[in-house]
Chain A
Amino acid sequence: MKLRVVSLLGALLLVASSAMATEPARRPMRIVSLNMCVDGILIELVSHDRIAALSHYARDPQRSTIAHVAQHLPITYETAEEVVALRPDLVLTSRHSAIATRNALQRVGIRFELFDVPDSIEESLAQVRQVARLLGAEREGEEMVARIEAALEAARLPADRQPLTAAIYQPGGLSAGADTVVGELMEIVGLRNIAARYGVQDYRPLPLEILVADPPDVLLVGETSRGAPLRAEKIVRHRALRALEPRMTHAIFPAKLLYCAGPTMIEAAAALVRAREQALSAQRARGAL
Chain B
Amino acid sequence: MRRWAIPTLIVLVAILTVLSIAVGRVTLTWDLWTAQDPVSRLILIELRLPRAILGVLVGASLGLAGAAMQGYLRNALAEPGTLGVSAMSALGAVLSIFFDIASLHPWVLPICGVIGGMAGMAALFLLSGMAASVLTLVLSGIILSSLAIAGISLALSLSPSPWAAGEIVRWMLGSLTDRSFDELSIAAPLIVAGSVIVLGCRRPLDALTLGETGARSLGIDLNRAQWQLALGIGLIVGGSTAVTGVIGFVGLIVPHLMRALVGSRPGALLIPSALGGAALVLAGDIAVRLLPGGSELELGVVMSLIGAPFFFVLLHSMRRKLT
Which A residues fall within an 8 A CB radius of B? 56, 77-82, 84-85, 87, 94-104, 106-108, 114, 117, 174, 202-203
Contact = CB atoms under 8 A, between A and B. Distances in A.
A100 B178 contact: yes
A80 B50 CA distance: 13
B98 to A, nearest CB: 12
Contacts of A100: 175, 177-180, 183
Nearest to A97: B167
5 contacts: A84-B47, A96-B163, A100-B183, A101-B178, A106-B106
A95 B46 CA distance: 22
B25 A82 contact: yes
Nearest to B171: A99
Contacts of B171: 98-99
Nearest to B295: A77
Interface in B263-308: 294-296
Interface string B130-168: 000000000000000000000000000000111110110
B76 interface: no
Contacts of A82: 25-26
Nearest to B24: A81
Given A77-B294, A77-B295, A202 B161 contact: yes
B136 to A, nearest CB: 37
Contacts of A102: 103
Contacts of B40: 85
B254 interface: no
Interface in B27-46: 39-40, 42-43, 46
A65 B39 CA distance: 33
Contacts of B97: 99
B180 A56 contact: no
A77 B293 CA distance: 10
B182 interface: yes
Nearest to A109: B42
B262 interface: no
A203 B106 contact: no
A81 B26 contact: yes
B162 A101 contact: no
Contacts of B46: 104, 107-108
Interface of B: 24-26, 39-40, 42-43, 46-48, 97, 102-103, 106, 109, 160-164, 166-167, 170-171, 175, 177-183, 294-296
Contacts of B25: 77, 79, 81-82
Contacts of B178: 79-81, 98, 100-101, 103-104
Contact of B180 (A78, A103, A202): A103
Given A81-B25, A82-B25, A103-B182, A203 B177 contact: no
Contacts of A101: 177-178
Contacts of B296: 77, 79
A117 B161 CA distance: 9
A98 B170 contact: yes
A150 B160 CA distance: 30
A178 B60 CA distance: 51
Contact of A114 (B24, B103, B109): B103
Nearest to A102: B103
B179 A203 contact: no
Contact of B106 (A84, A97, A103): A103
Contact of B103 (A77, A95, A117): A95
B26 to A, nearest CB: 4
B106 A174 contact: no
A174 B48 CA distance: 39
Given A87-B39, A106-B106, A80 B47 contact: yes
A85 B177 contact: no
Given A79-B178, A80-B178, A99 B109 contact: yes
A81 B4 CA distance: 37
B43 A202 contact: no
Interface centre among A87, A107, A114 (most CB of B within 10 A): A107
Which 7 A-B pairs give the minimum distances between C-beta atoms? A103-B106, A96-B163, A85-B26, A104-B178, A96-B167, A100-B178, A80-B178
Given A99-B97, A203-B160, 16 more contacts: A56-B295, A77-B295, A79-B177, A81-B47, A82-B25, A85-B43, A87-B39, A96-B163, A98-B170, A98-B178, A99-B102, A100-B177, A100-B179, A101-B177, A104-B180, A107-B46
A87 B40 CA distance: 10
Nearest to A76: B25
Contacts of B47: 80-81, 84, 104, 108
Given A94-B163, A99-B109, A84 B39 contact: yes
Given A77-B295, A80-B47, A107 B180 contact: yes
A259 B75 CA distance: 48
A181 B141 CA distance: 44
Given A81-B24, A85-B26, A99-B97, A107 B164 contact: no
A181 to B, nearest CB: 11
A77 B178 CA distance: 12
Given A77-B295, A81-B24, A82-B25, A108 B42 contact: yes
Contacts of A174: 162
Contacts of A79: 25, 177-178, 296
A88 B133 CA distance: 58
A144 to B, nearest CB: 22
Nearest to A100: B178
Contact of B160 (A97, A107, A202): A202
Contacts of A78: 295
